[in-house]
Structure 1
Amino acid sequence: MKGSVAYQSIQKRGLHIGLLPEMAAAVNGSTPITLDHDLDVFPEVGRRLTVARYAEHVDDLAARLWAAGVRTDERVVIYKTANADHWMLAAAVSRIGAVVVNLSPALDAATVGVLLERVDQPTLLTDGTKLDLLAEVPLADLTRRVITSAGDRPGAVSLAELAGAPRVKPVVRPIDEAAVITHTSGTTGIPKLVVHTPRTQGVRLVPQWRLLSLMRKKETVAIHVPFVHSRMVAAMSLALLKEYPVLLMRESDPADVAEQFIEHRPAFVEALPNSLMEWEGLAEDPRAPFGSVKVFSSTFDAIHPATMSKLLKASDRRGALFFQIYGQSEVGPAVGRAYFRGSAHKANGRCVGWAMPKGAARIRVVSRDGETPSEENPGFIEVAWDGLAKTYFAEQGRYDTNRNGDWWRTGDVGYRTRFGCLHMLDREVDMIPGVRSSLEIEDVVLGKLSELSELVVVQGPDSEPVPVICTVDDRPLDRDRWRAAVAGFPRLADPVQIPQAELPRTATLKVQRLALARRLEEQPQEQA
């Protein structure tokens, strides 16, 4: 089977992650998969696998889950310590026709308890460490059974004890029924559970399949995104079907990242925007850890032009580019654009891109007040295509409030230029009276002050825009440099400096702006 044939099959029959490893092995079973950590569920297999071995492990785990009592159509919540085996376990759950519910390991016990109740008597697939964390959650009441992938606990079924279970035939879920459930970032409260079907997952591969076609050689793809995220489904699917060697990364410390990049020399890097910001300093490393990178890609949030420029200048590849995709869990990839070495530093960070080729999402901007959306009067950004998530699990009404026929309201505000470029200015809930775009302020000031490691503009107690800053190594802020950098934004309040570790973040490292604003109101900070 060729990768293109498998891809065409997915477009017709949908993407079933339980079948994907087997399909990829049929394309090229010798394609390497390398990890920067050990698998908790199979600690003995080491960090170097092939796609064929990967598929074999998924089949093995599917057999063990069946032996543990999991059956087709059941919902299986996977909440475990961050590890690449999460995606392997998810594929195994899918392989027996059950519905995967991915929960981030960053969620606290109380939130997990709420989501378990919402999912309504699921099987919980977890590990000893997380079970200890959930000690106060009434799992016996909220779940059908508890299975551990590592670390035995009383009352839980251990996957390790089910080794050698008879293999079972794969089950293909209906193309428009729930297959994988992920959750939103939870920036405004309890996360919503986003339902993906085989059809919606398959459709989302379309624009990204074309992006990967830019890589003519079978070079390494480094993936550093949360293993629980819907983006991981697309990233793994595309890399494996394209026969690219994969480097699956969990560690984010720049020193660890540098060692991995120097050893494996990836040509394509996909990572969270905030991870890429954390790695900026590696651009100065004389070993050139980014030297081999042809394409940087990020899809979770808009990224600052200064970060893109530093990364691109650290590449030794001719024509290196940074491809940014704007989207969200509910819509997948919506628009995109490429940035290049010579111009990224001059880019308008609010321009998140253009509609992608035929078969991809459609975009529109709808007026908020009856007036035509513009830079001064942004409108609601909406997306339509077959890749939209089907619903919010157990919250259909909440989903329906954002859905208008074919169109999904993203919650972001912006406008389109006469050339068709979509400019995303802010989340609607984060808008500050009298401020055109807090994100634009952050782009500009971060581009001017290299000593800042993070800048977040939030609404203060008196509706004023308050810049919350973090500096490299928590060094004191140079007030003169700050005043010069923000001279174009006279309404800004004096900056508040906090350690970067104290920024409230989501599982995808987005800053929880509303939580940060509440902190300023409840616990006034000293000005920087």
Structure 2
Amino acid sequence: MHNQGLGGWIHKRRIKSQHHAAVIEGEKSLSYAQLATRIDKLANALRQLGVEKGSRVAYLGNNHSAFLETLFAAGGIGAIFVPLNTRLTPRELNYALTDSGSTVLISSASLDDLAQAAKADSPVVHHLVLANEPGADSDYERALSNADAGYQDVAVEHEDPAIILYTSGTTGQPKGAVLTHGNMTWNSLNVLVDYDVTSDSKALMIAPMFHVASLGMGALPTLLKGGTLVLQDRFEPSAVLAAIEHHSITSLSGVPTTYQLLAEHPAWATTDISSLRMLTCGGSAVPMRVLEAYERRNLGFSGGYGMTETAPGVTSLQAERSRSKAGSAGLAHFFTDVRIVDPVGNELPAGEAGEILISGPNVIKEYWQLPEASEVAFINGNWFRSGDMGYLDEEGFLYISDRLKDMIISGGENIYPAEVEQAIMELDGVGSVAVIGVPDEKWGEVPRAIVVPVEGAEITAEEIKEHLAGRLARYKIPRTVVLTDDFPRTASGKIRKTDLRKTFGGSTPPAHIL
């Protein structure tokens, strides 16, 4: 085959696993042969719309077989897949469509108002609307039915771009991380080496696949191995528990809140979950009470550390080490290397904290059309600067100690304070603002805005939230606002966020909280 990338995966699985279920949605099931045929039809339909190697094809929707069909069809042509976060605002989505230069948008009918607003004044030329029910009549299904089913083997190399995933910008604007076919393939191999994924695996996909963790750690490795994906378009505890029992689910991935809500559900005690053999959890550490609830049912958690730019796996902590290495993010994945360095790039010994650097074939080479940002993201050519602080113990287990980039992780969603701060500063009456993460029992942490008003101005939390509505996704909008007279600053005038967290980071900080 000429196609060495993702676009050839399901074509090969059609031969090896043709009758095995690839995707289950509700009562509908697609075998690998059926999925391959639909992918081929979509690839040919996209060609009829002018899509060619290097073109960008965007997708806006929750978990659906069409997400996977679009990913693999684009890969079959050599086009670049642009999955969009459904929780973003029209303005944020428009930026991604415009910056990526996406000419085709495929979106769910349930999100049509959002899609229509997002594509206005963007490069999108063709918009295929997808029915909410799999296989129901729609623009998307008609495009498939009118297309040829033949597979065309296009030359695609591991170095070619496969996906552009937009990350919240540390300086206010999102950056498009360019994940190559090789990045996604090697990440999947890391998962297959370090986790218990087999051809009889049934992975319940409850986290949205437009997030790299769900796609890279769950969906792609399972399909590469020939297992089955059971798709749910949203997280609802009772539906998850029912699916685990009905489909004999073997693996589940989520954030601590996911597992907490399952364990607290009335059906938890009576649901047969004996088929489960792999639970992975990311975003933050699993609270002890949640860990104990699963241990009582003979289950443990695998954890890890990763980011969009590493496709996403960097380290993994196996379930059997979750207590002996409590607080650790685990060991580097098999084909990935981690080192800790001081501010000038010198490698540090075990136990000393510094910046986490990452190298491996799963690490991106560039950001989309941002050569300067791409250059400064690396040290010595191929060591990616994570922007996170941590240390390695004597056995090589990684511990995360701080975030250089101040990123907030709320319910598995990444929030960059600079983006929120920039939006708040557009409001009259705001003199200075800093956004920090504060503990939250349900979401792990949520954003809090600390505001210094312009002298004489009166500002309320409601005004700030109203101003941000429509500008930022809801999860990025601060839950609380603190008014203060001034910020602790360095000699150069920079805000000391470490000091701010000490003063305002608790659940009931001093000063005026709104």
Q: Smaller-chain TM-score range? A: 0.7 to 0.9
The yes-or-no answer on 1:301 pairing with 2:283 is yes
Using the alignment, how far apart are the partners of 1:471 and 1:103 within structure 2? 25
Matched, 1:25 2:14: yes
Aligned to 1:96: 77
Q: Which amino acid aligns with 2:163?
A: V
The equivalent residue for 2:460 is none
Structure 1 CA distance for aligned equivalents of residues 29 and 239 of structure 2: 17
User: Counterpart of 2:496?
Assistant: none
The alpha carbon displacement at 1:165 in A equals 1.8
Give 1:67's aligned residue: 48
Q: 1:403 corresponds to which residue?
A: 378
Partner of 1:243: 226
- Alignment check: 8 A CA contact 2:339 2:347 kept: no
CA distance in 2 between counterparts of 1:307 and 1:64 reads: 51
1:18 is paired with a residue of what secondary structure?
helix
The match for 1:338 is 318
Residue 166 (structure 1) shift: 2.4
Cα distance per residue 1:205-246 (max 9 Å; x no partner): 22211134x467824232333222334155333223323233
Distance 1:252 1:181, change over 3 A: same
CA deviations on 1:82-119 (whole Å, 9 max, x unpaired) are: 53421222212222222111111122100111122212
> Residues 469 and 518 from structure 1, CA distance in 2 versus in 1: closer, same or farther, beyond 3 angstroms?
closer
Please give the alpha-carbon distance, in whole angstroms, between the structure 2 residues aligned to 1:313 and 1:187.
38
Question: Given residue 24 of structure 1, which amino acid in structure 2 is its aligned partner?
Answer: R
1:76-475 counterparts in 2 under 5 A? 76-120=57-101, 122-137=103-118, 139-150=120-131, 158-162=139-143, 163-168=145-150, 169-184=152-167, 189-212=172-195, 214=196, 218-231=200-213, 232-233=215-216, 235-282=218-265, 285-298=268-281, 300-306=282-288, 309-310=291-292, 312-316=294-298, 320-331=299-310, 332-340=312-320, 344=322, 347-349=325-327, 351-357=328-334, 360-368=335-343, 378-404=353-379, 405-430=381-406, 467-470=438-441
Superimposed CA distance per residue, residues 335-368 of structure 1 (whole angstroms, 9 cap, x where no aligned partner)? 111133xx7467532x1112233xx111111113
Matching residue's letter, 2:12: M
Rounded to whole Å, the distance in 2 between the matches of 1:29 and 1:408 is 39
**Inter-partner Cα distance in structure 2 for 1:219 and 1:142:** 40
Which amino acid counterpart does residue 383 of structure 1 have in structure 2? Answer: I
Q: How many residues in Structure 1 have an aligned counterpart in Structure 2?
A: 439
Q: Is the 8 A contact 1:280 1:310 kept in 2?
A: no
The TM-score with structure 1 as length reference comes to 0.71
TM-superposed deviation, 1:333 = 1.4
Please name the residue that 1:42 is paired with. Answer: none
Structure 1: distance between partners of 2:270 and 2:301 = 21
CA distance in 1, matches of 2:434, 2:91: 31
- Any conservation in 1 of the 2:249–2:276 contact (CA below 8 Å)? yes
The one-letter amino acid of 2:302's match is: F
Return 5+ residue gaps in structure 1 as ranges: 1-8, 38-45, 152-156, 432-437, 443-455, 473-501
2:497 corresponds to: none
Q: Give 1:41's aligned residue.
A: none
Q: Shift of the alpha carbon at 1:322?
A: 2.2
Which of 34, 42, 47 aligns to 1:53? It is 34
Cα contact 1:290–1:311 (8 A) shared by 2: no
Shift of 1:374: 8.3
Deviations 1:131-189, CA, capped at 9 Å, x for gaps = 422444563553343333349xxxxx933443232245142323312122122256874
What is the aligned partner in structure 2 of residue 449 from structure 1?
Answer: none
Q: 1:395 to 1:273 in 2, by over 3 A?
A: farther
Q: Given that residues 34 and 48 in structure 1 are in contact (C-alpha distance below 8 angstroms), is that contact kept between their aligned partners in structure 2? A: yes
Q: Which amino acid aligns with 2:375?
A: D
Q: CA deviation at 1:15?
A: 5.8
Tell me how far 1:429 sits from its aligned partner: 3.1
Q: CA separation of 1:131/1:64 partners in 2, compared to 1, >3 Å: closer, same or farther?
A: same
Mapped to 1, the partners of 2:67 and 2:102 lie a distance apart of 21
8 Å contact from structure 2 (residues 207, 234) kept in 1:
no
Residue 64 of structure 1 contacts residue 159 of structure 1 at CA under 8 Å; is this kept in 2? no
